[in-house]
Chains A and B, each alone.
Chain A
Amino acid sequence: MTKPAGPRMIAALVSGLVFGLGLSLSGMLDPGRVRGFLDITGAWDPSLAFVLGGAVAVAALGTLLARRMAAPLLDDRFHLPEGRLIDRRLVVGSAIFGIGWGIGGLCPGPALASLSLGLPATVWFVVAMLAGMIVHDRFVVPRT
């Protein structure tokens, strides 16, 4: 990379801030509501489907713009996954993730963002989540 990292750090900070603000506004930060969204046979709360819909629609506009660019604004090339193979790792990993998401109602973004609220329960979840990541990356699949 020939372009300096400083501007990319600022862009990442802004992107993270907008992400965290969006999570806070949307209701995704609330594990109770997330589990209500997943509880389709009970008192189903469909509102979080609008979060995904709105997010995918705007991200798709970004994708369309990115396709017209030879390189991103602050780097020499795009770093986007191009694999299309649906393998066992993808499906088993996603199923394990989904079970954990269902139990706690927390996924990685909301878990990290809600650390700012200083709730011990969230801290426990995040410590366990990071441990799960380290176990996978160190012992199951060595760094690629």
Chain B
Amino acid sequence: MSVYLISLAGGMLIGLSAAILMLANGRVAGISGIAGRLLQGRQPGVGAAFVAGLMLGPIAYRLIAGAWPAVTIQASTPLLIIAGLLVGFGSRMGSGCTSGHGVVGLARLSPRSLAAVATFITAAVLTVFLMGAIS
């Protein structure tokens, strides 16, 4: 199967996950929101259950596919720490990340999410370009 079809199938599973959470619990499957609320001790049971499921995902993949999903990390540990700080801070400040704004927000045709997605993709593309230009 082509890599595009595999990516499409994976994306459809992510969309299915978002549909399940919306139809069952009436909530947005936004990871930064779920993690942020968990850190604040709000709805800890439901949030912890979601994160536990999320971490079981690669293990389920390992059982089905027979191998762990590929992970190649290019950035050094200090850079990853800076990236993590920016991702955590920015996703809370912007009220969402790739999942909440990118998947659910776009599916709901939210103008805020459209603006957020356009902004973070532009910022990310520019960052990768500049890092390539420097090195």
Contact = CB atoms under 8 A, between A and B. Distances in A.
Contacts of A102: 123-128, 131
Given A16-B52, A51-B8, A22 B39 contact: no
A141 B84 contact: no
Contacts of A86: 111-112, 115
A104 B129 CA distance: 13
A35 B90 contact: no
B92 A136 contact: yes
Interface string B50-87: 11111111111100110011111111010111111111
Interface residues of B, number: 106
A24 B116 CA distance: 24
A112 B27 CA distance: 19
A90 B106 contact: no
Given A77-B26, A90-B95, A102-B123, A57 B12 contact: yes
B93 A92 contact: yes
The 3 closest A-B pairs by CB, nearest first: A20-B57, A26-B10, A16-B53
23 contacts: A5-B46, A26-B9, A26-B14, A32-B73, A38-B124, A52-B106, A54-B8, A54-B14, A58-B11, A63-B19, A63-B104, A66-B23, A80-B22, A86-B111, A92-B94, A97-B97, A103-B80, A108-B31, A108-B97, A112-B31, A114-B58, A116-B56, A133-B89
Interface of A: 5, 7-33, 35, 38-42, 47-48, 50-63, 65-66, 69, 71-75, 77-81, 83-86, 89-109, 111-117, 119-122, 124-137, 140-141, 143
Interface of B: 3-29, 31-32, 35-36, 39-40, 45-47, 49-61, 64-65, 68-75, 77, 79-95, 97-99, 101-104, 106-108, 110-112, 115-117, 119-129, 131-132
